[in-house]
């Protein structure tokens, strides 16, 4: 029996790499569903190659195009936000890979969990926004959440075989991004072209900017709290520019386990999709002789404020991380449209956190309202500044 995967965000960086994994293992995986927001051409091409039962194009204006292109295949085509959410409930889906970007991942993930589907989670924003809700729903519906993020996959791999051995702490590695070692004066004038040049990974635009501001590592600290049930003080971050050690776990006897390899997201993707089995791969192998010095340094929290903010909201709990996530999404978009500078991203987050109402025990609708209110506030703040 093939494992039937629904890929949400199939046209993105993670989505296309997941399809490469599936293409290389046709006896193990099948594609049940593909979704995308705007890239109709690639979605059509993927649908013709992988023959899912259903595809969803989020942008309703593109429905006719996708529907016409797939009319001679037995593939159902849908469009719009409600289809993006309900398509995960189909009976013949075994696992949902959440590879769309941003807050938009939250509701489809909730629906998938309620429908009893295991989750391969790339969309870290879902756990950042509503980690408490998602992890309790997963428990209630006996659904597993397998991490796709490379650092969390590394931790998850280090935990294999450890049973109930408690974690003393985890150490998340960070490449440091393109501006490692730079000061605020330098960062004030950096362009989006510079920020989009990640030293080690090729990824979507939003996560690439998040990596440059260290917001990505901040989001990952929060993601790790929920995935592995940790307190803030059990989560360390260390800068490791070579991105070979993907993260580490320290146990109560002081022993540290690390997971290593050349940076390639296909490995964590396939580990999540085929857990607990390892799939044979032809990915290039890491060789110690080629990397005589793997180096480690402290992150600079004064310059890269977003990582410090993430720790603050982790302590604060409630809807605080939801506010940070929404403000960051608006600020990153504005930076990519040349509306604010690089350091302005943190300013938007800090002000949003100060202005938007804090809710200690948010419900789902509180998250929705917090997200909307923060987006409105952050957008207005940017408008005034431009």
Q: By the criterion CB under 5 A, which residues form the site for Mg ion?
A: 149-151
Q: Which is nearer to Mg ion, 118 or 149 (CB)?
A: 149
In whole angstroms, the minimum distance from the beta carbon of 166 to ligand NAD comes to 27
261 makes contact, choosing from ligand NAD, Mg ion, none, with CB < 5 to 8 Å by partner type, with none
Q: Which is nearer to ligand NAD, 359 or 368 (CB)?
A: 368
Residue nearest to ligand NAD (CB): 12
Contact 122, 152 (CB under 8 A): no
User: Interior CA angle at 270 toward 262 and 150, to 5°?
Assistant: 45
13 makes contact, choosing from ligand NAD, Mg ion, none, with CB < 5 to 8 Å by partner type, with ligand NAD
Q: Which is nearer to ligand NAD, 53 or 198 (CB)?
A: 198
In whole angstroms, the minimum distance from the beta carbon of 5 to ligand NAD comes to 15
Q: Measuring CA to CA, which residue among 282, 256, 87 is closest to residue 169?
A: 256
Alpha helix locations (H) across 229-279? 266-274
With a CB cutoff of 8 Å and minimum separation 6, the contacts of 355 are 377
Could you list the residues that contact ligand NAD (CB under 6 A)?
9-15, 36-39, 58, 84, 99-101, 104, 122-125, 149, 201, 203-204, 207, 265
In whole angstroms, the minimum distance from the beta carbon of 201 to ligand NAD comes to 5
In whole angstroms, the minimum distance from the beta carbon of 238 to Mg ion comes to 14
Contact 153, 271 (CB under 8 A): yes
Q: Measuring CA to CA, which residue among 238, 239, 269, 8 is closest to residue 156?
A: 269
Contact 245, 263 (CB under 8 A): no
The C-alpha atoms of residue 284 and residue 277 are separated, in whole angstroms, by: 20
Q: Which is nearer to ligand NAD, 54 or 125 (CB)?
A: 125
The C-alpha atoms of residue 203 and residue 50 are separated, in whole angstroms, by: 23
36 makes contact, choosing from Mg ion, ligand NAD, none, with CB < 5 to 8 Å by partner type, with ligand NAD
Contact 195, 206 (CB under 8 A): no
201 makes contact, choosing from Mg ion, ligand NAD, none, with CB < 5 to 8 Å by partner type, with ligand NAD
In whole angstroms, the minimum distance from the beta carbon of 43 to ligand NAD comes to 8
Residue 252: Cβ-neighbour burial (10 angstroms; 0-12, 13-18, 19+):
exposed
For residue 195, the surrounding DSSP H or E stretch is helix 192-195
The C-alpha atoms of residue 190 and residue 318 are separated, in whole angstroms, by: 34
In whole angstroms, the minimum distance from the beta carbon of 173 to Mg ion comes to 9
Q: Which is nearer to ligand NAD, 12 or 261 (CB)?
A: 12
In whole angstroms, the minimum distance from the beta carbon of 150 to Mg ion comes to 5
134 makes contact, choosing from Mg ion, ligand NAD, none, with CB < 5 to 8 Å by partner type, with none
Q: Which is nearer to ligand NAD, 24 or 359 (CB)?
A: 24
Q: Which is nearer to ligand NAD, 281 or 359 (CB)?
A: 281
207 makes contact, choosing from Mg ion, ligand NAD, none, with CB < 5 to 8 Å by partner type, with ligand NAD
Contact 131, 321 (CB under 8 A): yes
Q: Which is nearer to ligand NAD, 19 or 133 (CB)?
A: 19
In whole angstroms, the minimum distance from the beta carbon of 327 to ligand NAD comes to 16
Neighbours of 45 (CB within 10 A): 13
Q: Measuring CA to CA, which residue among 322, 326, 268 is closest to residue 146?
A: 268
37 makes contact, choosing from Mg ion, ligand NAD, none, with CB < 5 to 8 Å by partner type, with ligand NAD
Q: Can you read off the two tokens belonging to residue 346?
A: 């943190």
Residue nearest to Mg ion (CB): 149
């Amino acid at each position: 029996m093939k494992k039937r995967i629904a890929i949400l965000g199939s046209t993105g960086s993670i989505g296309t790499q997941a399809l490469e994994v599936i293409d290389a293992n046709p006896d193990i995986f099948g594609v049940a569903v593909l979704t995308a927001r705007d890239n109709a051409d690639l979605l059509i091409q993927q649908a013709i190659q992988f023959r899912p039962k259903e595809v969803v194009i989020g942008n309703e204006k593109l429905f006719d195009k996708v529907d016409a292109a797939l009319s001679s295949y037995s593939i159902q085509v849908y469009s719009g936000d409600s289809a993006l959410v309900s398509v995960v409930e189909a009976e013949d889906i075994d696992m949902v890979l959440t590879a769309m970007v941003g807050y938009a991942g939250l509701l489809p993930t909730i629906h998938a969990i309620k429908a009893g589907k295991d989750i391969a989670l790339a969309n870290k924003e879902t756990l950042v926004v509503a980690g408490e809700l998602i992890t309790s729903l997963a428990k209630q519906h006996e659904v597993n959440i397998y991490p796709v993020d490379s650092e969390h996959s590394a931790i998850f791999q280090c935990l294999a075989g450890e049973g109930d051995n408690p974690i003393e702490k985890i150490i998340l590695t960070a490449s440091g991004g393109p501006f490692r070692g730079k000061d605020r004066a330098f960062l004030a004038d950096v362009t989006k072209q510079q920020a989009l040049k990640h030293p080690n990974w090729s990824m979507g635009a939003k996560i690439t900017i998040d990596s440059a501001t260290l917001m990505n590592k901040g989001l990952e600290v929060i993601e790790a709290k929920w995935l592995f049930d940790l307190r803030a003080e059990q989560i360390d971050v260390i800068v490791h520019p070579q991105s070979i050690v993907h993260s580490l776990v320290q146990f109560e006897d002081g022993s540290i386990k690390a997971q290593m390899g050349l940076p390639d997201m296909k490995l964590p993707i396939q580990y999540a999709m085929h857990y607990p089995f390892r799939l044979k791969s032809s990915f290039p192998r890491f060789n110690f002789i080629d990397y005589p010095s793997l180096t480690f340094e402290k992150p600079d929290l004064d310059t890269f404020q977003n990582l410090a903010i993430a720790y603050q909201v982790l302590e604060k709990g409630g809807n605080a991380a939801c506010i940070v996530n929404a403000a960051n999404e608006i600020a990153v978009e504005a930076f990519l449209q040349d509306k604010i500078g690089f350091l302005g991203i943190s300013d938007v987050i800090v002000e949003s956190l100060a202005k938007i109402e804090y809710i200690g025990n948010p419900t789902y609708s509180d998250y929705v309202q917090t997200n909307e209110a923060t987006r409105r506030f952050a957008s207005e703040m940017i408008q005034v500044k431009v």
